[in-house]
Amino acid sequence: MDQTSALARIHFLRSEINRHNRLYYQQDQPEISDAEYDRLLNELIRLEDQWASYISLDESPTQRVGAPPLDKFPTFKHSPPMLSLANAFTEDDIRDFQGRIGRSLKPTGLIAYVAEPKIDGIAVNLLYEKGVFKAGATRGDGQYGEEVTLNLKTVRTVPLRLQTISGKPVPERVEIRGEIYMTIDGFNKLNERREIAGEPLFANPRNAAAGSLRQLDSRITAQRPLSIFCYAIGGEVAGYDFATHWEVLQTLQQWGLPVNEHVRRADTIEACVQYYRNTLDMREHLPYEIDGVVIKVDSLILQDELGSAARTPKWAIACKFPPMQETTIIEDIEVNVGRTGVLTPVALVKPVQVGGVTVSRISLHNQDEIDRKDVRIGDTAVIQRAGDVIPELVMVVASKRSGTEQPFKMPTRCPVCAASVSRAEGEVAHRCMNSDCPARRKAQIIYFASRGAMDIDGLGEKLIAQLFDAGEIRDPSDLYTLDREKLLAMDRMADKSTDKVIDAIVASKHPPLEKFILALGIPNVGEHVARLLVRQFRTLEGIASASEEDVGMIDGIGPVIARNIATYFRESRTMGLLKKLKAAGVVPKEDSIRHSALTGKTFVFTGRLQHHTREEAEGTVHALGGNTSKSVSKKVDYVVAGEEAGSKLEKAKSLNIPILNEEDFMRLASNAAIESDF
């Protein structure tokens, strides 16, 4: 093919593929099969490869298939910063919003609003230069985000080039703000695939979207069903003089950026309240999750006049929805035996969609909870799910009882090993008393390999359960004796997945000492206590040989836990396990705790962080020798408040505990890291 016809063909293929993308992703009306689509795309990839020196790849649909993985994401500065929103929870809060606006503006005529669904996803910023998508980033702390351009290019509804509007040139430079989300259907299908592959499931569409967008390998992101709605422009745009937010939304749409179809103009605050009600009714019929509505003052002049508080504009408010509830039937109550022998009752409910996500199992926690809520097998129950939270049972509907419902009593014998079950004085938990119970041993190995502990990738619950049931592993040290044959004999294990698991097992041999201690699963020894032990005794040897008194001297470890720890290390089983682990080459790193300005300081994180996951932020504190806690008390040194922080923030204020935003925290941590003794 000569150059002219090759370039013409490339041009043709690009516009055809873009057209099919629109038909498929935006209009839901595909004209060709997936196989035909792939043929077009592959032809384009081949031609572009061949003629790469004559053409720009920037806006080609081939960019959407992903690129080789990055080591880390570069930092991206948002200009202006990406703000977040103040919350309203009731209709009166919405009316108060209008009251505040009225008071801070010079007397003015009627104030008009724009009301929009609040999409429950991840905020992003898209930078277009001369109409071409150049870079994009997550919100981060509002000022700096992570640049995830390659990942955003794989999102089919993010246009790689803006369309011109009736001959008017597209802006030289414009930042577009929007929300990346995953449809509920896409989320359910993704989880089905993950379940088959034995991978951990995402809790909800928002987490799935966040996890997908923050993949270092954009080829993985390309396989995730992500989409975008755009809702604002960051800053001024040369050549465009918008008077209202409504005009902005229309322009976004004309540029080819997806704008939610349910955005409305509202002339009064009462119309906004009505919109809130209507949208609440509509919520369960939408193909994506929304967690409220956003109300914005329409006039940009008034927006300017109102200005912003620290991190939230005064001209907009997020009106949150209550959690989603459904009723279902409790078909049975199953008892699970955990790693410390605790018996947890789990309600098996008739599968029900709560906001589109299927719920079939709900933890009932313990017998006291069951008694308090008077839960019986056969009962009709109200269950709820709120955004990020695990589904829970709200109450049973006693009026729906037929009389055949069965009260539940914890078994007196372990459902797995039939050993006796007992409930210690003052404890809510029932426990299986057999320390050799197979259910406990299996759960211990699962815990050992899990993400927070030894972090052995690919070695999930299902695979461990199979290996255990097949008699291949009896304790954690046996993981290090697994070979390819043993793994390949398990369901759904192919060559590639087997190699990955073997690599991950080998890679886990030198964990930080505190992770190793945690992984042992000593009763009541969580991350916090594990760290205290490492800080005090420094070596595995030191911890294992410490007496009950030595351990009890540590500030933060009470007498019961001190006894547990000392007893654990005296048991012959423990000594055997440690010996076997050592023989298998598992040698923890003993210098992983740093001494820095954060050493000994306790942090509580609350609300949604933008720049990090909660685990990452806590990991930073731990690596610098600090502690983290889940609850606010006088012993806490700092509370880091993310978006939508609630009661913990209030409590911190009332106790006069210093409150940091994410940015302050990052500054504090990086200073501490620079000045630390490592």
Q: Which residues are catalytic?
A: 118
Nearest distance in Å: CB 632, ligand IVH: 22
Stretch that binds ligand IVH, among 112-120, 332-340, 565-573, 588-596 (CB under 6 A): 112-120
147 touches ligand IVH (CB under 6 A): no
- Return d(Cα 327, Cα 381) in angstroms, integer: 5
Pick from 316, 432, 493, 649 the residue near ligand IVH by CB under 6 A.
316
Q: H-type helices in 508-558, by residue range?
A: 513-519, 527-537, 540-545, 548-552
386 touches ligand IVH (CB under 6 A): no
DSSP conformational letter for 370: H
Stretch that binds ligand IVH, among 117-125, 201-209, 324-332, 451-459 (CB under 6 A): 117-125
Nearest distance in Å: CB 345, ligand IVH: 36
Nearest distance in Å: CB 385, ligand IVH: 19
Stretch that binds ligand IVH, among 82-90, 236-244, 399-407, 573-581 (CB under 6 A): 82-90
Q: Which of 328, 345, 333 lies closest to 377 in space, CA to CA?
A: 333
Stretch that binds ligand IVH, among 54-62, 240-248, 249-257, 310-318 (CB under 6 A): 310-318
Report the Cα 256 to chain-centroid distance in Å.
29
Q: Which of 249, 246, 245 lies closest to 230 in space, CA to CA?
A: 249
118 touches ligand IVH (CB under 6 A): yes
How crowded is the C-beta side of 583, counted as CA atoms within 13 Å? Answer: 11
For residue 159, give every residue at least 6 positions away whose Cβ sits within 8 Å of its Cβ, in sequence order, or none: 133, 255, 256, 257
- Return d(Cα 588, Cα 575) in angstroms, integer: 16
- 317 vs 330, which CB is nearer to ligand IVH? 317
437 touches ligand IVH (CB under 6 A): no
Site string for ligand IVH, 549-588 (x = CB under 6 A): ----------------------------------------
Specify which residues 349 forms β-bridges with. 330
Nearest distance in Å: CB 350, ligand IVH: 33
Stretch that binds ligand IVH, among 58-66, 116-124, 322-330, 629-637 (CB under 6 A): 116-124
- 148 vs 505, which CB is nearer to ligand IVH? 148
318 touches ligand IVH (CB under 6 A): yes
Identity (one letter) of the amino acid at 480?
Y
Nearest distance in Å: CB 668, ligand IVH: 23
Tokens of 319: 């009106």
- 294 vs 383, which CB is nearer to ligand IVH? 294
Nearest distance in Å: CB 80, ligand IVH: 10
- 9 vs 264, which CB is nearer to ligand IVH? 264
Pick from 202, 231, 246, 408 the residue near ligand IVH by CB under 6 A.
231
Distances (CA, A) of 300 to 124, 329, 542, 612: 22, 51, 65, 32
Kindly determine how many residues on this chain lie close enough to bind ligand IVH according to the rule CB under 6 A: 16
Stretch that binds ligand IVH, among 81-89, 105-113, 212-220, 466-474 (CB under 6 A): 81-89
83 touches ligand IVH (CB under 6 A): yes
317 touches ligand IVH (CB under 6 A): no
Specify which residues 431 forms β-bridges with. 342, 422
Nearest distance in Å: CB 83, ligand IVH: 4
- 147 vs 179, which CB is nearer to ligand IVH? 179
Q: Which of residues 150-209 bind ligand IVH (CB under 6 A)?
A: 179
- 84 vs 191, which CB is nearer to ligand IVH? 84
- Return d(Cα 288, Cα 340) in angstroms, integer: 39
Q: By three-state DSSP, how is residue 127 classified?
A: strand
Residue closest to ligand IVH when measured from CB atoms: 123
Sequence-ordered strand ranges (E) for 141-201: 144-146, 173-182
Nearest distance in Å: CB 176, ligand IVH: 12
- Return d(Cα 436, Cα 423) in angstroms, integer: 18
Nearest distance in Å: CB 133, ligand IVH: 19
DSSP conformational letter for 164: P
519 touches ligand IVH (CB under 6 A): no
148 touches ligand IVH (CB under 6 A): no
Stretch that binds ligand IVH, among 9-17, 118-126, 152-160, 348-356 (CB under 6 A): 118-126
Q: Which of residues 635-674 bind ligand IVH (CB under 6 A)?
A: 643
Distances (CA, A) of 2 to 5, 9, 54, 163: 6, 11, 12, 30
Nearest distance in Å: CB 231, ligand IVH: 4
Stretch that binds ligand IVH, among 83-91, 341-349, 446-454, 479-487 (CB under 6 A): 83-91
Q: Which of 77, 100, 105, 78 lies closest to 88 in space, CA to CA?
A: 100
Nearest distance in Å: CB 139, ligand IVH: 6
- Return d(Cα 304, Cα 279) in angstroms, integer: 28
Identity (one letter) of the amino acid at 356?
G
How crowded is the C-beta side of 489, counted as CA atoms within 13 Å? Answer: 12
DSSP conformational letter for 81: P
393 touches ligand IVH (CB under 6 A): no
Q: Which of residues 282-301 bind ligand IVH (CB under 6 A)?
A: 294
- 248 vs 624, which CB is nearer to ligand IVH? 248
Tokens of 609: 């962080």
Q: By three-state DSSP, how is residue 434 classified?
A: coil
- Return d(Cα 432, Cα 300) in angstroms, integer: 65
Rg (Cα) of the chain, in Å, rounded? 28
Three-state helix/strand/coil letters over 313-360: ECCEEEEECCCEEEEEEEEEEEEEECCCCEEEEEEEEEEEEECCEEEE
CB 497 within 8 A of CB 463: no
Pick from 30, 313, 542, 552 the residue near ligand IVH by CB under 6 A.
313
**Which residue reads 């697994």 in tokens?**
482
Residues of this chain that interact with ligand IVH (CB under 6 A) are: 83-85, 116, 118-119, 123, 139, 179, 231-232, 294, 313, 316, 318, 643
